Amino acid sequence: MKQYGELKPSERILMGPGPSNVDPVVLRAMSAPILGHLDPEFLVIMNDTMELLRYVFQTKNQLTMAMPGTGSAGMETVLANMIEEGDKVIVCVNGVFGGRMQDICQRLKADVTTISAPFGKIIDLDDIKDALDKTGAKYVAIVHAETSTGVLQPIEEVSKLCKQYDAMLLVDCVTSLAGCELKIDEWGIDAAYSGTQKCISCPPGLAPVTFNERAQKVINNRKTKVPIWYLDLTMIQNYWGQQRSYHHTAPISMNYAFREALRLIYEEGLENRFARHELNSQALKSGLEAMGLKMWAQEGHRLPMLTSAVIPEGIDDVAARKYLLERFGIEIGGGLGEGKGKVWRIGTMGYTCNEKNILLFLTSLESALKAQGYKIEAGIGAATAMEVYAKK
Ligand SMILES: *Cc1c(COP(=O)(O)O)cnc(C)c1O
């Protein structure tokens, strides 16, 4: 008979595009006793979660909750509930996740107009304006933080345009939520979704979503049924709302973890959290540049929670990442889509995002590069990063 040893995953430093490391407080919450999904105690946990999530999304939206599934389930929830067959949708694609939105919109048989920008660049506002002029689209769908490229898209101006043309704005906040400024209400975002395993630093498994009243009206006045039963908010909102009617069994332990992860964010405070991501990302970027690496994302629009760096010429991508993982237990991401084999994606998300990890990473990367014959001044990356910390 085959023997199966006890499960013992290694401790990793997760500096890829997600998942990020998880605070032990959050992990412990997952081993708490299971409550029934209609237990009054669990309903209190759900209410706390919705309140905390509104804080993190910076919104008063009533319909703010966590869907089962990862970030992509959030994407599908927002798109499948808002869009009906034939609806005109402008989808902005400057990376893999914009491409995924486009794919889902097409599957929903929307009338899709795609605006693109090269990977590594932001979407041009004039292109959105032209498309709105030409199509009179009902929706604009856009990614706030493109994790495949490391680009941060300014959303406020896009929102102003949408208001001008009376289009509704649907935003992917999977990587941006809890890592950089994101104001759902103030920026006029109609519907947004995220994931738990990026800057929220919770295990992957839930997808926070939020819809304003206008979006909620659209959902409740659909002419056709939402084509996906499992993610149909017209039914699920009755579980998270007053009626508490059963739709599917809530993933209890995931909800515990999520509640605790949100509580930790609330304790830290959003502003402090954003500042922490900004500082560590600056230290990382300065260190990498001092080591001779070039940034891939457009200057002025670089993410604070994910840095895309061009792999130096002559360096074997896979071998270097394997070296980091095996020797130092550090995971970073390879390129995705157009960036494959060309860039590394280095995450500084949530719980992982601290000085200790940045300095260890820069030193470890130096070792990995030197192992492949890369010429580099000893300690220059970490030393440069330390200067950034010292100035703070
Ligand atoms: C990670 C990510 C997704 C997909 O989330 P999964 O949890 O992998 O399903 C979608 N959009 C962006 C911007 C992401 O970074």
Domain boundary among 234, 250, 267: 267
Residue 282 sits in which domain range?
A: 271-390
Nearest ligand 1 atom to the CA of 195 is 7
Residue 3 maps to a domain: no
- Please indicate, yes or no, whether residues 229 and 117 belong to a single structural domain of this protein: yes
pLDDT of residue 239: 85
Residue 107 maps to a domain: yes
- Please indicate, yes or no, whether residues 384 and 240 belong to a single structural domain of this protein: no
The three-class DSSP label of residue 143 is strand
Q: Identify residue 134 by its one-letter amino acid code.
A: K
| Number of neighbours of residue 269 by Cβ within 10 angstroms | 11
- Please indicate, yes or no, whether residues 231 and 317 belong to a single structural domain of this protein: no
Residue 13 maps to a domain: no
- Please indicate, yes or no, whether residues 96 and 108 belong to a single structural domain of this protein: yes
Residue 296 maps to a domain: yes
**Angle CA 16–21–22, to nearest 5:** 150
- Please indicate, yes or no, whether residues 131 and 109 belong to a single structural domain of this protein: yes
Q: Whose CA is nearest to atom 5 of ligand 1?
A: 71
- Please indicate, yes or no, whether residues 242 and 303 belong to a single structural domain of this protein: no
Q: Whose CA is nearest to atom 6 of ligand 1?
A: 71
- Whole-angstrom distance between the N-terminal and C-terminal Cα of the chain? 59
- Please indicate, yes or no, whether residues 95 and 220 belong to a single structural domain of this protein: yes
The three-class DSSP label of residue 245 is coil
Ligand 1, pocket residues at CB < 6 Å? 18, 70-72, 75, 97, 143, 145, 147, 172, 174-175, 195, 204
Residue among 92, 96, 175 to mutate when testing ligand 1 (max atoms within 8 A of CB): 175
CA of 174 to the centre of ligand 1 (A): 6
- pTM to 2 decimal places: 0.97
Inter-residue contact 382 to 359 (CB < 8 Å) = yes
Domain boundary among 248, 267, 286: 267
pLDDT of residue 389: 98
Burial of 214 (0-12, 13-18, 19+ CB in 10 A): exposed
Helix (H) or strand (E) holding 161: helix 156-164
CA of 98 to the centre of ligand 1 (A): 10
- Please indicate, yes or no, whether residues 316 and 241 belong to a single structural domain of this protein: no
CA of 71 to the centre of ligand 1 (A): 5
With DSSP H G I counted as helix, E B as strand and the rest as coil, what are the percentages for the chain, rounded to 5? Answer: 45, 15, 40
Q: What is the DSSP track for 23-83? A: -HHHHHHTTSPPPPTT-HHHHHHHHHHHHHHHHHHT---SEEEEEES-HHHHHHHHHHHH-
pLDDT in 10s for each residue of the chain, 392 residues: 999 999 999 999 999 999 999 999 999 999 999 999 999 999 999 999 999 999 999 999 999 999 999 999 999 999 999 999 999 999 999 999 999 999 999 999 999 999 999 999 999 999 999 999 999 999 999 999 999 999 999 999 999 999 999 999 999 999 999 999 999 999 999 999 999 999 999 999 999 999 999 999 999 999 999 999 999 999 998 888 888 888 999 999 999 999 999 999 999 999 999 999 999 999 999 999 999 999 999 999 999 999 999 999 999 999 999 999 999 999 999 999 889 999 999 999 999 999 999 999 999 999 999 999 999 999 999 999 999 999 98
Task: Give dist(CA 187, CA 157) in Å, integer.
Answer: 9
- Please indicate, yes or no, whether residues 341 and 210 belong to a single structural domain of this protein: no
CA of 371 to the centre of ligand 1 (A): 33
Q: Identify residue 81 by its one-letter amino acid code.
A: N
- Please indicate, yes or no, whether residues 261 and 308 belong to a single structural domain of this protein: no
CA of 156 to the centre of ligand 1 (A): 21
pLDDT of residue 288: 98
Number of domains present in the structure of the chain: 2
CA of 140 to the centre of ligand 1 (A): 18
Domain boundary among 242, 267, 292: 267
